[in-house]
Amino acid sequence: MNQILGECVGMTRHPARIPSDFKIRVAVLTVSDRASEGTYEDQSGPAVESGVIKYASESGNAVHVIAKKIVPDDESSISEAIRAWADMKDDDAPTMILTTGGTGFAKRDVTPEATKKVLDKMATALAACITLEATRFEPFSLLSRAVAGSRKRTLVFNLPGRPKAVKENLAIAMPKLAQAAYHVSKGV
């Protein structure tokens, strides 16, 4: 396991190797019954946006949040949001969709199932590597059921729902996700 973790960590230390003119367009999907009903202020979506902006300033990569949405913990609502964004015309579609919430074991946690339904290709090693690295901050991150993959020319990745966990995961994940988004969007 240390060797696998070492490889994942090694990838984090190396910046994404993407052309300077490549623009990462991010859509943020918050999955939360309470936030979608307005009984709870969404904190996870803003944490995703903050993490993406931080990565952009530190890496020099052009990253822009182009869309945000809050949906309930409902498979069809989650799948439809991902599908609608990924199926947009190439110049309008996000290159990356980051979901937050619904990756645990509660009865209403269905984000991975909803995501899998609309993906063309899975990127299981990407999700596993990020989850494994996250154990440095939170040992119970191994209980995450997050998935990663692509639909058309868009990378999709599930993040946890707690704002602290979102920040920790994005710090680990963004160099990998940026590289993956480039490969997916360009068909490389």
Query: Tens digit of pLDDT for each residue in 17-55?
Result: 888 889 999 999 999 999 999 999 999 999 999 999 999
pLDDT of residue 89: 92
User: Residue 152: which residues within 8 A CB-CB, separation 6 or more?
Assistant: 86, 87, 93, 120
- pLDDT recorded at residue 134: 93
The angle that helices 163-186 and 2-13 make with each other, rounded to 10 degrees, is 70
Q: How many Å apart are CA 49 and CA 68, to the nearest integer? A: 9
**Longest Cα–Cα distance in the chain:** 45
Q: Which of 18, 28, 106, 114 lies closest to 66, judged by CA?
A: 28
Count the Cβ atoms, other than its own, within 10 Å of residue 80: 14
Spans of the chain below 50 pLDDT? 4, 12
Query: Which two three-digit tokens encode residue 110?
Result: 């269905």
pLDDT of residue 17: 82
Please tell me the predicted confidence (pLDDT) of residue 9.
54
Q: Do the Cβ atoms of 125 and 131 come closer than 8 Å?
A: no
Using the 8-state DSSP alphabet, how is residue 153 labeled?
T
